[in-house]
Chain A
């Protein structure tokens, strides 16, 4: 008997064309003839769009100056935006009172950051302060009328500030109404259920513009003559109704995702309907729908631009109005790009945040 001992030969290295940069290119860009053609088309497209756009926006753009004459190069004239930035941010709010807006927004920024960042102490207290005290502080800061602050009428509010106010108040008031509607829609009481369904489907079935038209034209007819609503309040009422219907559907999604066992267990413990709802169901359901709530907030944030149609001066409307200035004709592209980038940065970061939350909160009932 002879024993054959074979020493295994070392593994051959993979072919050079399938590893490294070349391998990646082959696999992801040139795997077949059609793919190669698509890649080339894509490259041409990028070459045609990206360098000219970058040139226009940055390399040949004008940044410093104070008049139209300072824009001498071929690129974008950001001077137009920079000169008017205060108006774009605050509308016609008196410049001496800007600090009130800044304080108010900084305060809410700190509060929200406190609530969002993990491991900050006393979250409950801060949340209660944000919900119950902050709105009052913000009202007096924005509108004034006491504590020695002069009154700033709402028709002077405008720009990004108005956009933020509309979106946050709309959201803040729509959430509780939405929760009640969602509970109503899943209620066992037939009349409450029918009414919730009618309310939700009505507001979801009509465009926001008609809602805004309705609140601006019909609200004064519906209410007693002595009740005066200013334009901003009328728009807000329309937005809140509209938004609460969407919010209700989001919350309903969360309620439906709670397994029956949770209701049954709560019932077995002898908890009443309201205790079950507030201590068992809603905490779980709301946690599940936070990403959905962020998404509806993004939609609302974009939709606030519609108020320009009923004559409020939000960010887009202020910029649109600035195009008509005879000293600054012909800078509409710069203006639109500025507004678009403000919206884009806000909406994109919010949607990223909601995706992050979705991953983080995904501890629920999925099996």
Chain B
């Protein structure tokens, strides 16, 4: 007994062996980082680059094409970071909305019993899915939007909105005093609707009595704020874009870079969303639909209560990863000069300051934070709706 245990070498013991491998791994990774660290310190010293985040408070000295917050060239590099971040978020949020709408429409259209519509949707998906996104962005920006007329020959929609090579010009709403009341009524109405919805669900579960929430929601969220709006004397006016000299002044301007990026991002991502929607709906067993109809549920109820909840289980994870892809792909903006985080911060700011490590780390940090946050939320949601198996 003791003889045989003496013969056993430590590397035949799984526990020691795994400990040994892990210590070795840690040592290798630590050595790698030490190697990089010492090289970096040496190289930075040699090039005379100081490290640290002091550059964020320095004056930037360059202008930015589009900014959601006031920005001039006298502002700091820290503010360029913020401007870029907001522009990235703007195009991502708009892109997610458009891509979802197009994607769901096309996904459902592919399953349509109308042969022609299903084929058109298939052709759309197969064409745009297999062409690189960057090429699509270039196509919209350089080939399509550059072909638009000059400001003097703008296309107009009833003198309210104008389209030309410089961008899309829309009327801008101007909020006067008292509009705050309308806004607050709107917020309160949404809160009240949520409370009613909860009460409705609870009552239905306890007593079986149903309550049609749509009327109440419409009255609270739409009619009530409108009444308040007229009661306080219509505190809203519109500023129209007007052609002055060589360009339009006033109103809201949507720059062609944003339009091109948005078109390409939503059309490209929508093809993947369409596939997710299609696979989700196909994943619902036809027996489910048949059983639901056999129970006498109306067609719309079958869809709402049986098909969609089950399809969503398949769709949501794929949808999330497509949303994340869209946010990450919005960084292609830098190729056409839309001032997103990568273009403004990892591009111009990096060139002006030379603080490569800090800037790339901050940029990557932003995307990592967005990715990890969205996937954490989606994992939580996924667990919540996951099929509880017996």
Contacts and interface: CB of A to CB of B under 8 A. Distances in A.
Interface of A: 28-29, 31, 35, 38-39, 42-43, 45-46, 188-192, 195, 201-202, 204-210, 213-214, 217-218, 220-225, 298, 302-303, 305-306, 308-309, 316, 320, 323, 332-333, 336, 339-340, 343-344, 347-348, 351
Nearest to B335: A309
What are the nearest 9 A-B pairs in CB distance? Answer: A28-B115, A347-B130, A205-B371, A207-B328, A302-B132, A207-B331, A191-B22, A205-B368, A42-B116
Nearest to A184: B25
Contacts of A306: 134, 332
A210 B113 contact: no
B74 interface: no
Residue in B132, B142, B146 whose Cβ sees the most chain A Cβ within 10 Å: B132
Contacts of A316: 132, 134-135, 138
Interface stretch (B1-9, B35-43, B211-219, B293-301): B35-43
Interface in B126-176: 126-127, 129-135, 138-139, 142-143, 146
A224 B39 contact: yes
B334 A309 contact: yes
A305 B134 CA distance: 7
Contact of B46 (A42, A192, A225): A225
B18 A188 contact: yes
**Residues of A contacting B: mostly:** helix
A207 B22 contact: no
B389 to A, nearest CB: 16
Given A192-B22, A225-B46, A207 B342 contact: yes
Contact of B138 (A29, A191, A213, A336): A336
Contact of B116 (A39, A217, A222): A39
Contacts of B329: 207
Interface string B23-44: 0011001000000100110111
Contacts of A213: 342, 346, 350, 360, 363
A303 B132 contact: yes
B120 A45 contact: yes
Residue in B42, B133, B138 whose Cβ sees the most chain A Cβ within 10 Å: B138
B224 interface: no
A339 to B, nearest CB: 6
Contact of B368 (A195, A202, A220, A348): A202
B21 interface: yes
Interface string B350-367: 100000110010011001
Contact of B131 (A308, A320, A343): A343
Contacts of B368: 202, 205-206
Contacts of A221: 39-40, 43-44, 356-357
**Residues of B contacting A: mostly:** helix
Contacts of A202: 368
A225 B135 CA distance: 36
B342 A38 contact: no
A301 B69 CA distance: 38
B207 interface: no
Given A206-B368, A336-B139, A343 B360 contact: no
Nearest to A163: B132
A206 B371 CA distance: 8
B89 interface: no
Interface in B358-390: 360, 363-364, 367-368, 371-372
B167 to A, nearest CB: 20
Contacts of A192: 21-22, 25
Interface string B190-206: 00000000000000000
B334 to A, nearest CB: 6
Contact of B117 (A39, A223, A344): A39
Contacts of A201: 372
11 contacts: A31-B113, A189-B18, A207-B329, A210-B342, A213-B342, A217-B350, A303-B132, A305-B134, A332-B142, A344-B131, A347-B130
B114 interface: yes
Contacts of B132: 302-303, 305, 316, 343
A204 B371 contact: yes
Contacts of A191: 22, 25-26
A204 B370 CA distance: 12
